[in-house]
Chains A and B, each alone.
Chain A
Amino acid sequence: MIAYHLPILQIVVPLIAAPLSAFCRRAGMAWYLALIICAASFAISVALLVRVLDEGHISYLLGNWAAPWGIEYRIDAVNAFVLLIISGMGTMVLPYARVSIADEIEPHNQALFYTCYLLCFAGLLGMVITGDAFNAFVFMEISSLATYVLVALGAKRDRRALSAAFTYLVMGTIGATFFVIGIGLVYMVTGTLNMADLAARLQGLEQNRTALVAFAFIVTGIGLKLALFPMHLWLPNAYAFAPSAVTVFIAATATKAAVYLMLRFLFTVFGTDYNVLGLTLTYMFTPLALAAMFAASTVAIFQFEIKRMLAYSSVAQLGYTVLGISFASVTGLTATMIHLFNHALMKGALFMAVGAIVLRHGAATIDSVRGLGRTMPWTMAAFVAGGLSLIGVPLTVGFISKWYLVAASLESGRWPIAVLIVLSSLIGVIYIWRVIEAAYLEKPPEGRTAREAPLSMLIPTWGLVGANIYFGIDAELTSRVAGAAARLLLWVAP
């Protein structure tokens, strides 16, 4: 019985828990509630993934309304994998968040923080799980609105969080609007909102102007949401000024959900019959992805604040993700799917380490990490490990991602891209090294007393570092799921 209703429980549980946590007076209670809910969600998503891998896709009809009219939750290997990433990271962040949030947010807002966190969590999961285009828009708005609030809560530490949240709000809303315009247009042509149904009805409409305009709006709208270069300008400030725990959470999940929607619409809804898809991939995604890999990484080199630096690095990493999409091959999409997972792990570990530094020093700049190799050895070691993974050193997950990307580019015969992938990784070495150099080779400033971060932050950080290494050595599981997802997206029989 419960097993049958798992898909809806995945969403409803955190969605109902969110207002409940708003009633909690004390932050501690809200935190407990959020932790239990997220852990339950994670368990559900694991169960769903196992079931999907066993049985193929799950179709769940809300209120038993038949599919094209009612809302359908449709879970296959693609979104079950993304659900796992989001719920897993959401759960990992919470134990970490408690101390960090208590330090960075005003006391009377702390309980509300967990409300917004749960809302955002539910929204992201909903975006991914649903098989209904309009429903996806609704969840996108839920998660986005919650995220704006979460970012703005960073105002206690730095007032600029407010303007960052405002910019994010404007840009996010435009993205969502474009997306909903696109959906409106396809609804006009096909009369349906169910994704599977849309896919069937859009066949044969390859020359339909309205469908093409819809395609352009949807790609641009989601592109804005996933920070496709040069529409990434909202991202660095939002990441840099949000509270540390929020940065970890949204860096690891928000753009991943957007990438998922992009994949869904490009390959499942429109499909490779649309020759505009091929054009978009070749003439828009490939150059923009390459530009992101280089320009954003180069900007990261010159950044002074480490959070901002990592934010730019995220833009570059999204470049890799989009690059994988642009190959439109099984290997390329496998690379994208696996990189969604791997990037969540590595950026999660890195932002967590930076958050610990912020907790102890009030800021994480190249200046403030000087000599931290000695005073906060565990934190800095986690940063180094995450950095190695980001660069793509073998035995870390970063290497696995790069490996699939290079393999995909060689497979498609575009070997110069393989060279560029390796080159852009080298830029990563530079900006990670700047931090390592400051932390290990320079002396701490006079009269600074610093302690190691609390265990409640170190344990999740090292949990992620361990995952970085574990999945870097044993990529069996991730590559199997990612491969299955890629084949599903391209309608290739397994």
Chain B
Amino acid sequence: MIAELPPGLILIVGALLIPLLRPHLRPYLMLALPVAALVQLLTLPAGLHAQVDILGHSLVFLRIDGLSFVFGLIFLIAAVLNVIYGWHEDDPVQQVSGLVYAGAAVGAVFVGDLVSLFVFWELTAIASVFLIWASRTERAYRAGMRYLLVQIGSGVILLAGVILHYRATGSIAFDRLELTGLPTALILFAFGIKCAFPLLHNWLQDAYPEATVVGTVILSAFTTKLAAYALARSFAGTDMLIWIGAIMAVFPIVYAVIENDLRRVMAYILNNQLGFMVVGVGIGTPLALNGVAALAFCGILYKALLFMCLGAVLFRAGSARASDLGGLWKSMPWTTGFCIVGGASISAVPLFAGFIAKSMVLAAVAEGGHWIVWLVLLAASAGVFHQTGLRIPYAAFFARNPEIRCREAPLNMLAAMGITSLLCIAIGVYPAMLYAVLPYQVDFAVYTASHVVTQLQLLAFAALAFSILLRHRVYPQDVPSINLDSDWIYRRLLPAFVDVYRDGLRMMRFRAIARAQVRLNRFIAAVYRHHGPQGVLARTWPVGSTVLWVAVLLCVTLVFYYIE
């Protein structure tokens, strides 16, 4: 049984022990947990483990195959990096919720049935919201509430889909699903919410930047990648996803351009990166799925790296807004360097992690003959480079804004960023390392002349465009502002609509409550009359009347039998 202990469970159970320890010992346990889970994962053989039969259904808590292995692996690596990055943080709420959240995500990756998936799905939502609330501001509280509503909603829709699916097919296996009717459509919708499909995406940009410095880094790794995994597992090769993914890859860039808060810019870019994965899932060939897995693997690393850098900036300089920052390269040289590595990785510069993953997806798109999508993705790549490769480092570290003086990031943050940067470069230089753990056999040569040249051309022209735009001040100024996104509909329009009818609604509500209250009081009074301490049913009866009851019961029984 111990041998079959799911790695996710190690994190969840272990996390609950954290508050019991002295504060200075906690980080050691926190580091030990994901490392232990990693060891456990590496020792487990492929196949189904930890099956539990409950109520006639077989729940599989541990299914290790190529796809789940690579996602579980990167989740655990990310958990290790997060712990190092958050070493200085002495907040048990964040410590526990961060690890439970990671554990839930790892748990969800390894389950083999939809019911357990639902359980972990909801657990990720509940655990992660505390990372947002841990900012302890009113804004964060409200954003967290909205986040929780959306996430729990996704879980409920998933559950509804699973139940309908079970009734239709009698199976709760978490495997490939055909998008044929309402049940699977609901499941896809639930995955889509968590994966931040277009128009379902607002929770991401809303909530992630409100979390704590460490919290945002943790959040960036798990939820959406879990959704990408679920999509790859269940809906690989669903054509619809190609187009959804293409839209997802483009539209966040537009918002990113005009956004001022750099962490929010990253949230949009994160969304765009998911678009690449969704396209890959939609194509669904082994090459594409390999690309998805590779992209998730690298994506978690370089996005975490960028969020870490911005977090370090926020931590030291007190702001992550482009309009407040600039010239930090003198104060924070290391962070600047790591940020450039992260930018290069996400922009898919050759010899960095992003390149080897994105090339696979692009090659799969080209192989499938989806030329329009290919062009769209290419354009999106240019946009990404432009935003994260150039603008974020520029705005934060080089722009000639008021010169801010601050100290370099703490050692633990630097260590986490350094390790992540190393991983990004190592994977870029030795892609075979990553290709070895991908779910399907890889016969893909990434460093071909055409791949490299295409990518370099793209990058060169994007850089050129950025410089020209900046030079001629055509580029949108970094000013504090608020972007209107589709969440305006439910955050402003609907409440405004309700406002109009507020008085009427309020009256109705008052009356309904008053009426219900009167009824409830009457009901309680009646119950109390009979069941209360002096009620008929509760008071101590004289012996005589008790005996009478017995006699009555006997007589009734006898008469009854007699009639029979």
Q: Are A215 and B561 in contact (CB under 8 A)?
A: yes
**Which B-chain residue is minimally distant from A169 (CB atoms)?**
B543
Pick the contact of B561: A166, A212, A298 (CB < 8 A).
Answer: A212
A212 to B546, CA, bound (A): 24
Tell me, in angstroms, the Cα distance from A298 to B527 when the chains sit together.
8
Q: Is B490 on the interface with A (CB-CB < 8 A)?
A: no
Q: Does B501 contact A (CB under 8 A)?
A: no
Tell which of A213, A224, A298 touches B531, judged by Cβ atoms closer than 8 Å.
Answer: A298
Segment among B178-186, B412-420, B475-483, B534-542 that sits at the interface with chain A: B534-542
With the chains together, A243 CA to B561 CA distance in Å?
41
B45 → chain A, closest Cβ, in Å? Answer: 27
Contact among B531, B540, B543, B560 for A283, CB-based, below 8 A: B560
Contact A301 B550 (CB under 8 A): no
Is B432 in the interface zone, CB < 8 Å from A?
A: no
Residue of chain B at shortest CB distance from A231 = B550
Minimum CB–CB distance for A368 against chain B, Å: 17
How close is A170's CB to chain B, nearest CB, in angstroms? 5
Which residues of chain B have C-beta atoms less than 8 A from A166's C-beta? Answer: 543
Contacts of A236 in B (CB 8 A): 538, 540
User: Measured between alpha carbons, how far is A299 from B532 in the docked complex, in Å?
Assistant: 6
Within 196-228 of A, Cβ neighbours of B (below 8 Å) are at: 212-213, 215-217, 219-220, 223-224
Contact partner of A237 among B540, B561, B562, CB < 8 A?
A: B540
> Is the pair A216, B554 in contact by a Cβ cutoff of 8 Å?
yes
- Whether the pair A220, B554 counts as a contact (CB closer than 8 A) is yes
Instruction: Give the one of A213, A220, A275 with max B CB within 10 A.
Output: A220
Beyond A212-B561, A216-B557, A279-B560, whether A304 also contacts B533 by CB under 8 A is yes
* Known A230-B549, A233-B541: A280·B557 in contact at CB below 8 Å: yes
Complex contact B538–A303 (CB within 8 A): yes
Range for the number of chain B residues in contact with chain A: 20 to 34
- A residues within 8 A CB of B554? 178, 216-217, 220
CA distance A383 to B270 in the complex (A): 49
The answer to the question of B240 belonging to the interface, with a C-beta cut-off of 8 Å to chain A, is no
The interface residues of chain A, by DSSP majority, are classed as helix
Pick the contact of A301: B531, B549, B553, B558 (CB < 8 A): B531
Given contacts A216-B554, A220-B550, A220-B554, contact A171 B564 (CB under 8 A): no
Does B547 sit within 8 A of A, measured CB to CB? yes
Tell me whether A284 is interfacial, beta carbon within 8 Å. yes
Q: A299 is contacted by which of B537, B541, B547, B553 (Cβ under 8 Å)?
A: B537
B444 interfacial by beta-carbon distance below 8 Å: no
Minimum distance in angstroms from B553 CB to a CB of chain A: 6
- Is A231's CB under 8 angstroms from B538's CB? no
Distance (Å) between the CB of A159 and the closest chain B CB?
14
Check A234 against B546 for contact (C-beta < 8 Å).
Answer: yes
Judged by a CB distance under 8 angstroms, whether B528 is at the interface is: yes
Residues of the B chain whose Cβ atoms lie less than 8 Å from the Cβ of A284:
557
Contact call B531/A299, Cβ cutoff below 8 A: yes
Which residues of A are found within 8 Å of B564, using beta-carbon distances? 275-276, 279
- Bound complex: CA A312 to CA B531 (Å): 11
B560 and A295 contacting across the interface, CB-CB below 8 Å: no
- Render A231-251 as a binary contact track against B, CB cut-off 8 A, 1 for contact: 101101100000000000000
Which residues of B have CB within 8 Å of A178? 550, 554
Q: Out of B530, B543, B550, which one reaches A224, CB within 8 Å?
A: B550
- Can you show 27 pairs from A to B with CB atoms below 8 A apart? A167-B546, A171-B550, A175-B550, A178-B554, A212-B562, A213-B558, A215-B561, A216-B554, A216-B561, A220-B550, A223-B553, A224-B550, A231-B549, A231-B553, A233-B540, A233-B541, A233-B549, A237-B540, A275-B564, A279-B560, A295-B537, A298-B527, A298-B537, A299-B531, A302-B538, A303-B533, A303-B538
Other 6 A-B pairs with CB < 8 A, given A170-B543, A230-B553, A276-B561: A167-B540, A174-B547, A234-B546, A280-B557, A299-B531, A301-B531
B residues neighboring A (CB under 8 Å): 527-528, 530-533, 535, 537-538, 540-541, 543, 546-547, 549-550, 553-554, 557-558, 560-562, 564
